[in-house]
A = this chain, B = another copy of it.
Amino acid sequence: MQPLQPEPSSPESPDGPREPAPKQRVQDEIRRDIIFGTLPPGTRVTEAALAAKYGISRVPVREALRTLEAEGFVESKPYAGSTVSKIPVDDADDLFFVREALEAATARRAAKRAAAQFAAGAPSAEWWKARRVLAAVLDDGDRVIAQDRLDLLPELNIRFHLGVADLSGSASLTALLRQISGKIEWLYATDVNTRGKQSWREHRSIMAAIDAGNAAEAEALMASHVHQSREGYLDRFSAATE
């Protein structure tokens, strides 16, 4: 029914359904609600309420909140509760700046690793898995665009960029990108990113450069991709404030 499956990897895991742990599920759900506007900044989130909402106890909720706090999406004060952080709109300039550096490094490393994997014979199972996820995301994006469901693009966008990070094999960069990437989408909040369609097409060329193991081109394409995304945001933002 939904053009976007929450778990696209389900049919190909041979050992069992292996549904994600409740904590992980709740954590992703809350983060998603924050990024896409269901939980507006400043909202007070109490552990009991979240626990009741998701039908679990407070302990896993607390752990999810600690992770989200480390990622910067909620703020907690001892004994005083947690609130959704304010959208870092003042940091937009810096966030895009850092993102450009981060994503460029990620793309370069992904291309290098792809070349290395093929040079060493057959790529590892881990690598293929990440590559397949990326292929599915790209296809989902095309389908979503064909159906004119642009509202679904932001989430796919995050998944593409995180997918590239996975392909880079660098846990450090992936962890950092997860936060930056989420925050950038957060900036757009409920708004629809008008550059969405065009932006999505660029993903294919980035993917091609990575697959070709062309590190320099992958880095340059990604840097340009992010840079244009930044310009688009700043244009809309300054237009809205004047």
Contacts and interface: CB of A to CB of B under 8 A. Distances in A.
A78 B21 contact: yes
A138 interface: no
Contact of A105 (B70, B98, B106, B173): B98
Contacts of A171: 72, 75, 85, 88
Number of copies: 2
Contacts of A105: 94, 97-98
A58 to B, nearest CB: 10
A66 interface: yes
Interface in A63-95: 63, 66-67, 69-72, 75, 78, 85, 88, 90-91, 94-95
Interface string A40-53: 00000000000000
Interface string A92-117: 00110110111001101100000000
A95 B172 contact: yes
Interface stretch (A143-151, A174-182, A188-196, A228-236): A174-182
Nearest to A20: B78
Contacts of A78: 21
A170 interface: yes
- Which bracket fits the contact residues of A? 35 or more
A183 B94 CA distance: 21
20 contacts: A67-B67, A67-B69, A70-B70, A70-B71, A70-B175, A71-B175, A72-B172, A75-B171, A85-B171, A94-B105, A94-B109, A94-B172, A97-B105, A98-B98, A98-B102, A100-B101, A101-B102, A172-B183, A176-B179, A176-B180
Interface of A: 21, 59, 62-63, 66-67, 69-72, 75, 78, 85, 88, 90-91, 94-95, 97-98, 100-102, 105-106, 108-109, 170-173, 175-176, 179-180, 183
